[in-house]
Structure 1
């Protein structure tokens, strides 16, 4: 694997294959698999990831917004794509690109029916979302009859699936709450199916649900963070491989005296004679100002170097006192060994945030199987 000579995000498709197969091994053979590729495939490269998952015969893809799905269609991705949080202004765009919307409110349902009719659609696939405790998006159980009534009056759309989202499937302190969500969703689904007279697919489990709640696998499961190498637990993390490695390089090394300061607002003061390294990555690249001042670190020649001072827009400075390094040496921000979750935890956040924050100006390098 070549060493970095600039800031680069390496994306390992072999690791993606491993994670996909590991998660699939937890399912019954007939259970379908939906891969979540929203937010540039969790900060990586949505086109490369979607095409590789298509090669692996994934059943469905999901994005958050319509334009994310359009990007994939324009790149030649043909797998069905669920749009998880569509806005009515994009409904024609969704139909034009054969995307499938999540319908989560009466306003959204009525508007999509109108647009589908105007586009002369027949039985256009939609996915009905129910709220079972996350209280973010979705219909309530007492909306079932009204939804069924709206559906009975049109041939423009047809329900492909019913789904909900688990609120705390990774939390061992919330097992009862999660089990109640599963029971609630199954009850809603039975009522709904009895009203419409056919059986849409049911899906509920996210990555942690796949791992912890086999009774919730139903017809299909959805995985996002697990595909990218994180299982929300130490045990599962050990079974998965992070697909992304963020690397950079030392631009310059400074020798500073005791009480000299580093960076904006003189936020770091040297405690003694110290050596610092400047690295070409900053908050415009996704290393936010939550880092620095004792939070966050990188690895240089196998040794941990803390981020010091304030993170700049295009640069960070790290303390390399005692580290044998020189200008041009590779810097690891995170990889399979020095995980993004560890860097995130050092600043009180989560792997999702640091992964999805990596700017599109950072070069992507795709590593194939």
Structure 2
């Protein structure tokens, strides 16, 4: 295996990041990058630590590179923005193989290219633990970004796709004793991909922002129960979720049975689905559906907003509070 050096890595990034973009004045090569904007910027940053946020024993470096960027792009999508620029800071053990680093970087650059987002700077240091910090800058579209604070009594609650997949994928990958996982991998392929290679909902986030019918939004990173509670707390409202409306893939039940887990826990409390969770303004549901007709996203109405506080789940005739029952950092 080839040893790495900071100079090798910087040169590799510099060569891969050549080019220009609207608003970029100067990029890698000076002490700072310089950008120009006539409006506001959306800025998000996330840190991923080896053995805490990812596991190198089953997460291929190329896919981890993609995911490291995707989780930040999802934050921009959650506010109805377009990602533009990325800053990357890496803390790398001295004995980490260059081949692993190169494969990780290939994945990161690949997804940046897919979303027309440019790596413009960052930092690298040697450390005992592998750590990855990504900062993304984006621009809102429409009149302004979409916040968590806009949900109101009478709004309806929606999600952009199936829930619980990433949590099930992680559990399957983490359970060495489950032989069927390797034997029947094709059955669980979508669940495994949901964890290893999540897809940020950039196009949908932009469409929702342009529609003018969305009152609040965020992405689902810590589980529906917790992320809906963030919106409710910020907006000062109550959410009622209908259990029978919650979308999930058919193979999720098979995975839950093999993992000896409750499917409800995966759907409500498992994190990293990176679906968009949003509310549609009262009385605008028909117009909202018409505005998204061309994009035809697989979106699902799962509940309603009313006055009060907290998140409640309705199962048949039973109602229980589920506020902040997802992942805690």
What is the TM-score when the length of structure 1 is the normalising length? 0.20
The structure number with the bigger radius of gyration is: 1
Relative contact order higher in (CA < 8 Å, ≥ 6 apart): 2
